[in-house]
């Protein structure tokens, strides 16, 4: 962090006391005004209707890390070894395609829809095995490998003009920026953009706001940092729990920032100190989110 830049601060408040083991993948469904997020390890898909406060969850038969709104309705579940269509009205699941089915070590992790309505998704080892993870792009129904040899791929997000993608390998502590072509495909090698390797907390999930800044969860630090276009921290959200995993903007005007958290790996003593760990938090920062496109499969 730099001392030359004024850093704004906010306090996050409890939104849904769901206490997920590994809360992840918050995603706003604008058409149905619902926020979805996952408890990866408990195989659950959670939801919240911010306008009414109503919430609930669906129990699934496999680990899922994101539910992406589809162009035309329904959701696409990013699962541990498959992508599936999901109808939240009747909880019907229809398998769309498989990936890494020959590798029982891995599961899906971070994912986000890009500025072309395509989906970037990652895999990692179920025990965070070094180098077991990969980064993919699902473009018009075809899944393409972008990068392999990663340990915990995270922080997938995109600039509004589609010029850049960001991601991190959490184990390295470094957020990378990748130049994209006019169709959203990476060009050249990703470049180091923001280094958290010597600070408290590891970079996890991230989202871009309407002003072009990135909100980055810092796992272990109990914070979400706001970074400007140069990768400098200009804001910090403080949470009462230590393991925030990913932020996402939601609400009718994308004015609320929701943050998933986790209690994965906690001892009984840690759970006693952080009883609401794994729950969904929210903060109104005065900055609006950047609307994301629904996922296009054709």
* Residue 204 annotated as catalytic: yes
The DSSP call for residue 171 is G
* β-bridge mates for residue 147, sequence order: 135
In sequence order, the 6+-apart residues with CB closer than 8 A to the CB of 153 are 109, 110, 122, 123, 124, 133, 134, 135, 167, 168, 169, 170
Catalytic residue (one of 29, 114, 169, 204): 204
Residue 141 CA to chain centroid, in angstroms?
A: 21
Give me the phi and psi of 10, to 5 degrees please. Answer: -140, 160
Q: How far is CA 147 from CA 6, 94, 167, 194, 258, in A?
A: 36, 28, 11, 19, 29
Give me the phi and psi of 9, to 5 degrees please. Answer: -130, 150
The Cα 157–Cα 163 span in angstroms is 11
Q: 3-class DSSP state for residue 12?
A: coil
Catalytic residues: 204
């Amino acid at each position: 962090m730099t001392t030359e830049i004024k850093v704004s601060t906010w306090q996050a408040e409890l939104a849904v006391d769901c206490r997920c083991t590994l809360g992840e993948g918050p995603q706003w469904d604008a058409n149905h005004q619902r926020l979805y997020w996952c408890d990866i390890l408990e195989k659950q898909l959670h939801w919240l209707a911010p306008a009414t406060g109503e919430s609930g969850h669906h129990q699934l038969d496999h680990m899922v890390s994101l539910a992406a709104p589809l162009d035309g309705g329904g959701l696409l579940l990013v699962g541990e070894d498959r992508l599936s269509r999901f109808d939240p009205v009747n909880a019907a699941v229809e398998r769309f395609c498989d990936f890494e089915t020959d590798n029982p070590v891995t599961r899906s992790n971070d994912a986000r829809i890009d500025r072309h309505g395509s989906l970037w998704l990652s895999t990692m080892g179920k025990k965070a095995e070094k180098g077991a993870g990969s980064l993919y792009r699902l473009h018009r129904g075809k899944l393409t490998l972008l990068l392999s040899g990663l340990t915990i791929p995270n922080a997938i997000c995109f600039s509004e003009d589609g010029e850049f993608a960001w991601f991190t390998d959490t184990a390295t502590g470094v957020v990378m920026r990748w130049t994209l072509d006019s169709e959203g495909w990476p060009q050249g090698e990703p470049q180091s953009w923001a280094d958290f390797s010597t600070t408290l907390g590891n970079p996890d999930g991230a989202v871009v706001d309407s002003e072009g800044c990135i909100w980055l969860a810092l796992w272990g630090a109990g914070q979400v940092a706001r970074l400007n276009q140069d990768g400098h921290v200009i804001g910090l959200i403080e949470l009462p729990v230590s393991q925030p995993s990913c932020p996402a903007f939601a609400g009718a005007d994308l004015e609320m920032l929701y943050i998933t958290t986790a209690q994965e790996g906690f001892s009984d003593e840690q759970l006693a100190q952080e009883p609401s760990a794994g729950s969904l938090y929210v903060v109104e920062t005065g900055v609006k989110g950047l609307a994301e496109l629904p996922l296009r499969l054709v």
